[in-house]
Amino acid sequence: MRWTLKPKPEPELIEQLSSALKVDGLVAQLLIQRGITNYTEAKKFFRPELSDLHDPFLMKDMDLAVARIEKAITDNENILVYGDYDVDGTSSVALVSSYLLQHYPNVATYIPDRYDEGYGVSYKGIDFAEDNGFSLIIALDCGVKAIDKVAYAKEKGIAFIICDHHRPGEQLPDAIAILDPKRDDCSYPYDELCGCGVGFKLIQALAVNNGETIDDLIPFLDLVATAIGADIVPITGENRVLAYFGLKVINSEPRIGFKAIINQIKKKKLTITDVVFIIAPRINAAGRMKHGQHAVNLLIETNLDQAEIIAKEIEQFNLDRRNLDQEITTEALAQITENKEEKRFTTVVYKDTWHKGVIGIVASRLTETYYRPTLVFTKSGDKLAASARSVRGFDVYNALQACSAHIEQFGGHKYAAGLTLREDQYDGFKNQFEKVVSTTIDPQLLLPEIKIDGMIGLQQINAKLLRILKQFAPFGPGNMTPVFMAEKLRNTGYAKGVGEDEKHLKCSVSQGNAVSSSAAGRSFDAIGFNLGNKLPNVKNGDPFSAVFSIEENEWNGNVSLQLKLKDIK
Could you read off the pLDDT of 90-132 as tens digits, one per residue? Answer: 999 999 999 999 999 999 999 999 888 888 999 999 999 999 9
How many angstroms separate the CA atoms of 338 and 506, rounded? 35
Strands of 78-83's sheet in order across: 107-110, 78-83, 134-140, 159-163, 177-179
pLDDT at 519: 41
For 83-98, the pLDDT digits (tens) are: 999 999 999 999 999 9
3-state secondary structure of 374: strand
Q: Give the mean pLDDT of 360-364.
A: 94
Mean pLDDT of 253-263: 94
CA distances from 213 to 198, 217, 223, 238, 505 (A): 18, 7, 18, 17, 51
- Yes or no: say if 177 and 161 are a contact pair by the CB < 8 Å rule: yes
> Are 196 and 228 within 8 A, CB to CB?
yes
Cα gap 206→490, rounded to integer Å: 60
Note the pLDDT tens digit of each residue in 210-256.
Answer: 999 999 999 999 999 999 999 889 999 999 999 999 999 999 999 99
Q: Worst-scoring range by mean pLDDT, 18-22, 113-117, 162-166, 380-384? A: 113-117
- CB proximity list for 257: less than 8 A, separation 6 or greater: 94, 298, 299, 300, 301, 307, 310, 311
Which helix (H) or strand (E) segment holds residue 517: the answer is helix 517-520
Helices (H), 87-236: 87-101, 123-131, 147-155, 195-209, 221-230
Sequence-ordered list of residues with C-beta below 8 angstroms from that of 115, at least 6 positions apart, any chain: 356, 357, 380
- Categorize the per-residue pLDDT at 553 as very low, low, confident or very high, splitting at 50, 70 and 90: confident
Give CA–CA dist 457/198, Å, rounded: 43
Rounded mean pLDDT of 206-213? 95
Cα 470 to the center of its chain, rounded Å: 20
- Give the residue-averaged pLDDT of 35-53: 95
Distance of CA 364 to the CA centre of its chain: 13
What H or E segment, with its residue span, contains residue 409? strand 409-412
- Kindly give the pairing relationship between strand 374-380 and strand 383-389: antiparallel
Over residues 151-173, the pLDDT tens digits come to 999 999 999 999 999 989 899 99
Instruction: Quick: pLDDT tens for 448-497.
Output: 999 999 999 999 999 999 999 999 999 999 999 999 999 999 999 889 99
Q: Is 186 exposed, middle or buried (0-12, 13-18, 19+ CB in 10 A)?
A: middle
Q: How confident is the model at residue 518 (pLDDT cuts 50, 70, 90)?
A: very low
Crossing angle of helices 304-338 and 256-265, in 10° steps, is 60
d(CA 526, CA 534): 13
**Burial class of residue 467, CB neighbours in 10 A (0-12, 13-18, 19+):** exposed
pLDDT of residue 515: 47
Note the pLDDT of residue 338: 87
Domains along the sequence of the chain with CATH: 2-7+450-568 (2.40.50.140), 56-313 (3.90.1640.30), 339-446 (3.10.310.30)
DSSP label at residue 13: H
Using pLDDT thresholds of 50, 70 and 90, give the confidence band for residue 512. Answer: confident
Given phi > 0 = left and psi -120 to 50 = alpha, else beta, which region is 232? Answer: left
Phi/psi region, residue 522 (left: phi>0; alpha: psi -120 to 50; beta: rest), is beta
Q: pLDDT band for 310, please (50, 70, 90 cuts).
A: very high
Nearest to 538 by CA among 559, 518, 563: 563
Q: How far from each other are the two terminal CA atoms of the chain, in whole angstroms?
A: 10
What is the chain's mean pLDDT, rounded? Answer: 94
Q: How do residues 177-203 score in pLDDT, each as one tens digit?
A: 999 999 999 999 999 999 999 999 999
Can you tell me the distance from the alpha carbon of 81 to that of 93, in angstroms, rounded to the nearest whole number? Answer: 6
Residue 508 has φ and ψ, to the nearest 5°, of: -125, 135
Give the model's pLDDT for residue 349: 96
Give every CB contact of residue 489 below 8 A, 6+ residues apart in sequence: 458, 509, 510, 511, 543, 544, 545, 546
Question: What pLDDT does 268 receive?
Answer: 79
pLDDT for the residue 554: 81
524: β partners: 509
pLDDT band at 67 (very low <50, low <70, confident <90, very high): very high
Q: Is the dihedral of CA 514, 518, 521, 522 positive or negative?
A: positive
pLDDT tens digits, 417-461: 999 999 999 999 999 999 999 999 999 999 999 999 999 999 999
Task: Measure the CA–CA gap between 504 and 498, rounded to whole angstroms.
Answer: 5
Nearest alpha-carbon partner for 193 in 149, 131, 242 = 242
More confident residue, 162 or 416: 162
Q: Residue 118 has what pLDDT?
A: 80
Say what percent of the chain tops pLDDT 70.
Answer: 98
Q: How far apart are CA 179 and CA 219, in angstroms?
A: 23
| pLDDT on residue 517 | 42
**pLDDT, mean of residues 520-530:** 87
Region of residue 523 (left: phi > 0; alpha: psi -120 to 50; beta: else): beta
Alpha carbon separation from 446 to 70, 374, 459 (Å, rounded): 51, 12, 35
How would residue 521 be classed by pLDDT, with cut points 50, 70 and 90?
low
Give the Cα separation of 476 and 271 in Å (integer): 11
Q: What is the pLDDT of residue 513?
A: 62
Nearest to 228 by CA among 244, 206, 210: 244
